[in-house]
Structure 1
Amino acid sequence: MSSPYTKALSAIDAAHSLDPKKVTVNGAEIPYELHYAQKMFDHLSNRLPGASEPLRLAVRAQHFRRWEVPRDSYPMTRIGYHAWRTFLKKRQAELVQQICIESGYEADVAARVASLIRKEDLKDDEETQVLEDVACLVFLDDQFEQFEREHDEDKIVGILKKTWGKMSERGHELALQIPMSERPLELVKKALAG
């Protein structure tokens, strides 16, 4: 018989598998959000090897069904971006909380998973900080090089500074171990020097 954790993880990954956007990893095409969730898990295992079940589920569901609410469904402004992100966190938390309950978790555990997905008490809750570190590490490891090609240097340096400011000291240590090509590494150094 499957545990609540196994059931919830399977349901989360089944939803990720529906993402129409695909990426090629090791020669195989997979849904982007499944790839993203796996990267999140990989970085969590480095950041906090003995992570609790609620944290592991929240990390796995960080972008749960995100493709269903595209960025351009909100105004393409800074305020629009923040409104989009706020809506996504709330929506993702509610959907995953329901999955946890349907998988057999008690209401308090499901609520904890949702709280982590919403990144509540970021500076005071160690697990929320771990989730934030992991999200930042995945950005730097998996998304930054593409992002760097699409934006001007000032914007990139500003975003790197904000990303760095969200992370813990342990997150910083792990970020500095991520292999990067010459230009992205140069931008990271510039952001950290400023």
Structure 2
Amino acid sequence: MLPQTEPRFSQAIAAFDARNARDPNQSLVNGIAVPKELAYAQRMSEMLQRYAPQASEAVQLAARCQHIERWTLPREAYPMTKPGYHQWRRKLKEYHAQVAREIMQQAGYDTETMDSVAALVSKDAPLANAEMQLLEDVIVMVFVEHYLEEFVGQHPEYDVAKWKDILHKTLRKVSPAGHQALLTQIKLPQALVPLIQEVMTEGGWIPTAG
């Protein structure tokens, strides 16, 4: 059952959203400018509800705070190298988990639940963990539905082979149930449907025609 009626859950979600509402960057949602990370958090919750409405409280919380205050650690603050990129990503995960834990503690959560959410947000939990895999499925689905087309537009220098490689590395993180949902529950960017289907077929994630 969804825990929205629990005061601590509502308090934590409201606090996550209040932090993300401070994002100076904007995303357009139905033509309306919304703080970027607030839009992302709400899209994560919506996708989780669509894909796995009976997800645990920990997964629901982790979905809502995946990118909490992400703009406070800009990529430019780290070396523009591959090691610098990985350092930035590691710091982001640690920061998101730390902020989530602080907010959940203020809302009255127990240590076990805080530890579970922190492990999911920091991705310390392995993909063999069912809740980590569920969250990873949702992360990829949100990316494909809401951000992939924009990402493609930002990189006109990439050729088809490069995009196939990117999609393969992204979609291989998804579970079999997630692959099925990508084809049935996700609003795929129309211009990219043939490429997505080709990559999924080559990956063995959907059957070949005939």
Does residue 179 in structure 1 map to residue 183 in structure 2?
no
Q: Tell me the distance in 1 between the aligned counterparts of 2:60 and 2:187.
A: 25
Structure 1 residue 180: Cα displacement: 3.1
Following superposition, which runs of at least 4 residues in structure 1 exceed 4 angstroms of deviation?
Answer: none
Q: How does 1:145-160 map to 2 (within 5 A)?
A: 145-151=149-155, 152-153=158-159, 154-160=161-167
Partner of 1:60: 64
Structure 1 residue 193: Cα displacement: 4.2
Q: Tell me the distance in 1 between the aligned counterparts of 2:189 and 2:11.
A: 39
Q: How does 1:1-194 map to 2 (within 5 A)?
A: 3-151=7-155, 152-153=158-159, 154-177=161-184, 178-194=186-202
Identity of aligned residues (%): 37
Do the aligned partners of 1:11 and 1:99 also contact (CA within 8 Å) in 2? yes
Q: Tell me the distance in 2 between the aligned counterparts of 1:193 and 1:171.
A: 14
User: What's the TM-score, normalizing by structure 2?
Assistant: 0.86
5+ long unaligned stretches in structure 2: 203-210
Q: Which amino acid aligns with 2:163?
A: I
- Once structures 1 and 2 are overlaid, which stretch shifts more, 154-163 or 122-131? 154-163
Q: Secondary structure at the match of 1:166?
A: coil
Q: Which amino acid aligns with 1:70?
A: P
- Once structures 1 and 2 are overlaid, which stretch shifts more, 84-93 or 181-190? 181-190
User: What's the TM-score, normalizing by structure 1?
Assistant: 0.92
Q: Tell me the distance in 2 between the aligned counterparts of 1:93 and 1:150.
A: 29
Q: Secondary structure at the match of 1:176?
A: helix
RMSD: 1.7
- Once structures 1 and 2 are overlaid, which stretch shifts more, 135-144 or 43-52? 43-52
Q: Tell me the distance in 2 between the aligned counterparts of 1:128 and 1:193.
A: 25
- Once structures 1 and 2 are overlaid, which stretch shifts more, 168-177 or 153-162? 153-162
Structure 1 residue 174: Cα displacement: 1.3
Q: Tell me the distance in 2 between the aligned counterparts of 1:170 and 1:23.
A: 29
Q: Which has the higher helix share?
A: 1
**Which structure has the greater CA radius of gyration?**
2
Structure 1 residue 2: Cα displacement: 6.8
Q: Tell me the distance in 1 between the aligned counterparts of 2:173 and 2:196.
A: 15
Partner of 2:205: none
Do the aligned partners of 1:119 and 1:132 also contact (CA within 8 Å) in 2? no
Q: Secondary structure at the match of 1:19?
A: coil
